[in-house]
Structure 1
Amino acid sequence: MVDRANRPSALNAPSAAAPGAQVDITGSGASSKVTATLPSGESVEVLLYGATVTSWKSNGGKTENLWLSEKAALDGSKAVRGGVPVVFPVFGPPPKSGHATSALPQHGFARTSRWEFLGKSTSEDALDSSSVKLDFGLYSSGLTEEARKAWPLDFGLVYSVTLSKDSLQTVVNVRNEGETSFEFQFLLHTYLKIKDISKVAINGLLGVEYVDKVLNATTHSQKDESVTITGEVDRVYSKIPQDTTTVVEDGAPRFDVVRDNLQDTVVWNPWTEKAAAMGDFSPDAGFKEMVCVEVGAVNGWQKLEKGEVFEGGQTIKSLL
């Protein structure tokens, strides 16, 4: 377990549903989604399948900030390609044997489980109309029989999504509700929407070590101030000292991705061949209009003893 506090510092984000924000639940079954809209027009959509954020619009609702594949499955048939899928309790392919997650599929079960909408939070310290907070829950009792058999541990997840005028905060709270300890990994697989990948630079990772999965999982150090993408990129940056990673497009800051109680970030773009090989990635050239900057705890394992809680997440700021 990483030697640090389980609970994050405050992100100064409002923690209550704001008067005037409109929240609607539409669809049925696996296609059910929760949509929240601020009086000023900003909005967020969260599919209950996977608690996947599929849309986040800022700038009065005019600017979509998340990339979603045209062939993304939104009916619960498979994990959503795009938006912000929640990865838990294992990142990537699980260990082949000898670990509690070994029987799980890649990226675990959170992104392919139906979550419960817990509603809007209210408190006395956020009486304004500039933000709305939505809570979603997933518990061991709500897993499919297959997932429960593969990972027979007692846990509770609460996922909080806070929409503000210029930002989206997503935080996961993990609680060990069983008698025995367990280990897990966690990642927010965020697909950011950009205009032209050839004009994108990612700053804030200088000097950070990373595992390059394109180069046989070898370890390197980020020597350039900016990460630029000219081919397939799949890197896991670990133990990042500063909290903010900035996505710059055409010389201007586009997004700030602010991590909280998380020290790892994955940078991913499938590029031409891999994008074409994925049946749910569309259009094939869509890789030119997206980049994944994924915050998480994936370097090793987080361990929770009975009754312990881990909390971590991100705030993405739209800088247009």
Structure 2
Amino acid sequence: MVDRPKKPSALAATPGLAPQPQVNITHSNSTVSAVLPTGESVEILLYGATITSWKDAAGDEKLWLSEKAVTDGTKAVRGGIPLVFPVFGTAPDHEATSKLPQHGFARTSTWEFLGKSTSESSETKDGGDSSVKLDFGLSDAELSEESKKAWPYSFGLIYSVTLSKDGLTTTMLVRNEGETSWDFQLLMHSYLRISDISAVSVTGLESSSYVDKVASPISTTTSPDGPVKITGKTDRVYTPAGGPSAPVAISEGGKKKFSIVRDNLNEVVVWNPWVDAKSIGDFAPADGYKQMICVESGAVKGWQKLEAGETWEGGQIIGV
């Protein structure tokens, strides 16, 4: 055998790609899910573009979803983060939305998945992507005939859900695609999972004006200079005194559990049905109100008006 003192050295192994977020469309193309290399995950039902699950790296669920939640596209989902558009509640005195069902049609329409994008961070373990953004779209072309008749306007919505190691960002872009102006309301109806409602306090709403929808008659008052505690049925629409950029925090047992930072969403709705949960057909278990609190970012006091061709954008970051 001929000696080859200058034989080529072994080829260096080709470095593998950094870990990437995994995005899947499952359940007969009805659900989009994403998992980061670090383990955080999110699931979004195309029906309503409703976020039904959000877990941290340890697999702990951050959202509350009713055990009786209907996810087959026959009714709005009870829990997670449903979307309210173009009306909050009902508005019988507002001509443009008076014929719409409660909370409008966004949460009961099937959205289109528009795709994903990622961002990189050197801080991510193994140099992988640190976040993934999932985009969903809805326009008047996708509406049911019933919804088109009730709200005969041309529009386009792009809803972006961004999952990162530190939280969940939800952003809505609203565009008037028609030739006439129209107005709307928007709410991100977040059901946050907690362990014991009696140990929960909400800060960031001190000395803020709020509408108490439980009071009879419905009244407007100012909250005290202290944390909000839930001790009974609660349904309030706050206008935080600190403005839309002021963070709202949810603590449990004195330890901060969630923080919510809003962008162009001036109101915060705080809701818990308390023992009245037993009269809500798809709310389960009946005492599930002890493990949830809704702290919802929205533009629901008055109306946002869009002229032909105009756009509006608002969103929130829920940090953990």
Both proteins in one fold, TM over 0.5: yes
1:88 paired to 2:91: no
The residue that corresponds to 2:184 in the other structure is 184
Moved over 3 A (4+): 122-128
For residue 55 of structure 1, the aligned residue among 48, 53, 56 is 53
How far apart in 1 are the matches of 2:195 and 2:283? 17
1:317 paired to 2:315: no
For residue 121 of structure 1, the aligned residue among 99, 107, 117 is 117
How far apart in 1 are the matches of 2:59 and 2:119? 29
For residue 292 of structure 1, the aligned residue among 284, 291, 294 is 294
Higher relative contact order (CA 8 A, sep 6+): 1
Identity %: 60
For residue 45 of structure 1, the aligned residue among 16, 28, 43 is 43
1:103 paired to 2:99: yes
How far apart in 2 are the matches of 1:277 and 1:181? 39
Contact (CA 8 Å) 1:275, 1:284: kept in 2 or not? yes
User: Relative to structure 1, is the Cα distance of residues 249 and 124 closer, same or farther in structure 2, using a 3 angstrom cutoff?
Assistant: closer
> Which sits farther off after the overlay, 183-192 or 18-27?
18-27
- Aligned-residue RMSD, C-alpha: 1.7
Query: TM-score, normalised to structure 2's length?
Result: 0.89
Stretches of structure 2 lacking an aligned partner (at least 5 in a row): 1-17
| Count of matched residue pairs | 296
Contact (CA 8 Å) 1:269, 1:287: kept in 2 or not? yes
Report SS of the residue matched to 2:102: coil
1:77 paired to 2:89: no
Contact (CA 8 Å) 1:43, 1:61: kept in 2 or not? no
Report SS of the residue matched to 1:64: coil
The amino acid that maps onto 1:43 is S
How far apart in 2 are the matches of 1:256 and 1:124? 23
Contact (CA 8 Å) 2:121, 2:130: kept in 1 or not? no
Distance apart, 1:63 and its partner CA:
1.4
Distance apart, 1:80 and its partner CA:
0.3
Contact (CA 8 Å) 2:200, 2:230: kept in 1 or not? yes
User: Relative to structure 1, is the Cα distance of residues 139 and 50 closer, same or farther in structure 2, using a 3 angstrom cutoff?
Assistant: same
Contact (CA 8 Å) 1:189, 1:294: kept in 2 or not? yes
The residue that corresponds to 2:153 in the other structure is 153
The residue that corresponds to 2:264 in the other structure is 261
Distance apart, 1:99 and its partner CA:
1.5
How far apart in 2 are the matches of 1:122 and 1:307? 29
The amino acid that maps onto 1:67 is W
The amino acid that maps onto 2:175 is R
Query: TM-score, normalised to structure 1's length?
Result: 0.89
Larger-Rg structure: 2
1:236 paired to 2:232: no
1:280 paired to 2:277: no
- Partner deviation per Cα, 1:105-140 (whole Å, 9 max, x = no partner): 000000000000001136799995110000000001
Stretches of structure 1 lacking an aligned partner (at least 5 in a row): 1-17
User: Relative to structure 1, is the Cα distance of residues 33 and 264 closer, same or farther in structure 2, using a 3 angstrom cutoff?
Assistant: same
User: Relative to structure 1, is the Cα distance of residues 302 and 239 closer, same or farther in structure 2, using a 3 angstrom cutoff?
Assistant: farther
How far apart in 2 are the matches of 1:125 and 1:164? 11
Contact (CA 8 Å) 2:118, 2:131: kept in 1 or not? no
